[in-house]
Amino acid sequence: MFPATVLSGVKPGMRAFEEEIFGPVAVIAGFDDDDHAVKLAKMSDFGLAGSVIGGNVARARAVGNRLRVGHLHINDQPVISSPLAPFGGRGKSGNGTRISGPAIWEEFTQYVWITTKPAATAYPF
């Protein structure tokens, strides 16, 4: 078992910044302002879930809306999800679809338009 670990001071180019880590690891990369934080987040090829923590909910939501993630959590941890929510992640994360919830019908449905009449219409109409 791998112990819970926090990696701070992580920067672009470091393996912990570039790769998706599955395990009890929190990767912390510092940023200067909201634009810099979004830029850093968008450097990743992955986007399974994201979280923005902040004292100003409107500001946190504005930052979150700029991220490419399958699940976005404002002032909550990004590990929760719901079987009722369409989910597939973005980029190289997840399954690349909208599997789960009501959207699953769209994902696995091919629409066909069928008309039926009791007899053929005589030609010419």
What's the pLDDT score for residue 94? 63
Structure-token pair, residue 29: 């990369």
User: How high does pLDDT run on average in the chain?
Assistant: 82
CB 64 within 8 A of CB 108: no
What's the pLDDT score for residue 116? 77
Structure-token pair, residue 112: 């066909």
Q: Report strand pairing: 25-27 vs 5-7.
A: parallel
Summarize pLDDT for 24-76 with one digit per residue, the tens: 898 999 999 999 999 999 998 877 788 899 999 999 999 999 998 888 889 98
pTM over 0.85: no
List domains and CATH numbers for the chain. 31-107 (3.40.309.10)
Residue 118 burial (CB < 10 Å; 0-12/13-18/19+)? exposed
What's the pLDDT score for residue 107? 65
Which of these, 93, 92, 88, lies nearest to 103 by C-alpha position?
A: 88
CB 22 within 8 A of CB 46: no
Q: Could you write out the DSSP letters of every residue in the chain?
A: -PPPEEE-S--TTSHHHHS---SSEEE----SSHHHHHHHHHT-SEESEEEE--S-HHHHHHHHTTS--SEEEESS-TT---TTS----EETSTTSS--STTHHHHHT---------SSPPPSP-
